Structure 1
Amino acid sequence: MDIVTDLVLMGALAVAWTAAGLVADGLQNARSAAELRRRSGWLSALVVIGAAVFVAVPAVLWIRPGEQQAPSAALLAAIPALVALTVGVRRLGPVRRGAGAFATAPQTPLPPALRAAAAHPLIIVPLQVTGLAAIIGLPIAAHVVEIPASNVAGIAITVVGVAVLAIGIRAAVRHSRLSLLALAPIGRGRPRVPVSPR
């Protein structure tokens, strides 16, 4: 058993994806389009690093054969990571390109529609859930929790389910609020139809 290797791999996985979740959570707080473009660039880099760590887990297992818990621990984060790498990255691309459209005027305030797009739940939720799953995988990598362990697994599934639900609701409410703010100028700009007196 190589506990150190398992902990290093899962620690790197947890750090990369947790950092990506935190950066994604702050995308809509950018003050300018240039800042949003910079933050989305950091986020893209963190996602690439997190994906590289996922690739490193089976590679290290192949180089150093033996009983290792890192693959089992990494499986917890694999499904949300796949969602983040497919749906989340696809939604992040237009946000970064939209912010890049203001490259000639970097201090331009962030448009409400772009701010709402940066707060989309499909960007934020998969990244934060992947980070949470990677953190939960650390005790497995440290050989503190053995798999399968029905009692611990049941508690972990319940805690993760509640946390995922809370993350999803928070992201959906915030995105809805920012979407309404993006539509507010349209509502204010509608011409009023005069009512003829009868």
Structure 2
Amino acid sequence: MYLKSLEIKNFRKFGDKNNIVEFINSKDTPEGTEINVAQNTTLIIGKNNSGKTTIIEALDTLVNGKFTGSDFNFFYLKKLFEGYENENTNKQFPEIEFKLIINLEKNKNDDITNLVPLMTLEDLDDTEIELKIKIVLEESQEFLGEFDKIINKKISGTEKFLKIIEQMNKIGYKTKFYRNDDIEIENFKLDKLINVVSIKANNVSDKNSLKMHLIK
């Protein structure tokens, strides 16, 4: 069992497009590469500054559930808030979205105990399980009321934006999990399914050297 892909929307530098990261299993490392890691481990391998750290931070924040307003993509929020001032626009509340595809290897005795809440009857014969995750405000209507107060203040646009982010953080965030049929899963714990470990390279000879992150 390993992570096959991660789709990210509206998290930090990832905007509202379909940002999909494909992973590889530890046994499928590039030819000529010898890495001694446990089975059921997902690897992220790439050159320096290729985005590995951002991916790991996204997963780590997901597992720990500690999101803040600064985790939302700036341009996404700016566009969203500008739309609020148009009374004819249906107001959508800030959301960060993720979609995880988990691979169950054929002919392997994977422990699927923690995956059972995600599975439907149709999934029993599949080798891939999908988990959708949304990060939303704890109280959307409360945020909307505070937003209107801030917008009406006689301060600069930058100050308004910062105060809106501050208000988002005061209200707080919650994580919602969904199966592939969009049924919400109650009391699901992602840390029972994923363990994120970052391995730092001590001897990086040049910019083309590879670093690696593990997801178990």
Q: TM-score, normalised by structure 1?
A: 0.29
Higher helix share: 1
Larger Rg: 1
Q: TM-score, normalised by structure 2?
A: 0.27
Higher strand share: 2
